[in-house]
Chain A
């Protein structure tokens, strides 16, 4: 099936989007994997788009309860592709029961796809689909979201690898996580 393209789009250009996805904290590991993989598949296979960035913010407190949940698992995506890609993703997410919220935003029109190299490794995608890793990225209270500097994003991506290993050992990290669950 050919990809739908808006008449506004110039030939060979794509659109850049960012998306925030919030899942329920009680999503089973298998379903989490399914959801993440399905999104990636929709982007890459069905719509020939690309994931530019995928940040796993992990468990965070919601500012207000959604579907009686006080916490959510946050993801931040940055993707490039055509308009139909986003509606495809949204169509899927809308039907998905473990999705609390999704919010996609167009950042730029008519982007040259070649000018946006993707630094997403298969590793990052795999981690995002791994429940154990996701929950280990528990929230640090009111941590400022990576937005100002590239360096911080890089640091945040490198840090989890070490944090993941130490999370099980250090009581500090685990107690922080269990506090939230008890509430």
Chain B
């Protein structure tokens, strides 16, 4: 086996080639890590948003979108009284009637943004125990409370949604009186207002859905049976986790696009890397011939060339990982129904390292074979 120092010194033969290889692999690995982290973040926020204990009663035919759903307002009371297995908190059954409404809001400084507004009652805190009021209080009429990341999702400055500021929704001014957190869920990007206000603003007599929290997820069949028996209410029961699971599928083309883009860039970088190595190795055919003449086998030499390439690509991976930690980790990314945060965790890091290794291997094999292929007398003459 040739010493590792041979591979390292060969890497340093041409600083520009080294920079090109390290930079190219760093770019690809960074993109792969970003794609994995974005996909993970989006999936994580959507799966965390749906609790297996929660069931959503939606209007029949609107199972794909809670915003389009229309449910009679008295469904909340009927469901609460009729369905067994509903969780009770301090004697109150966990049933929340809600209106989900997407519309433009204006902040104090006049900036406009499309926001997901949820008309709620305090019962929402029973069905979503992960929600924590971090500042202020629950909104009454003419007031709203905002999710911790709503400003990010709306593209506003953070102070535009601080307590005491106002937002305007369809000419109705609503004062921000509270902030809440619901870590890792889409709710953190929402604005919650009193359900009565949203009914007026949205000009609707119905609500969007009724969310029910069950003691045991197995009791879903009871809710499903209720929806099927009460044909007059025209309801469809969906586990909340299934609802967000479907939403996740809805975003799969977007995720596919991310992967296609990354793959194309990676392919370009791999071809660029192969081209660079072809040029670099072409000048070393004789050297490889000399080493073979001394007695080193082609496999040994191929391994040494692999060492060089993987070393360069792993250096790029290290650079990419550092950049990912510095630039991407903790970054919040808004998408249509919420905001997710990018997390550079061990899985992302591992995929990054594997990508770097793969780049090093794929990139070196064609030029290495070309470099080692000539018959020995030809290689020595080159």
Q: Do A and B bind? A: no
Binding site for A on B (CB under 8 A): none
Binding site for B on A (CB under 8 A): none
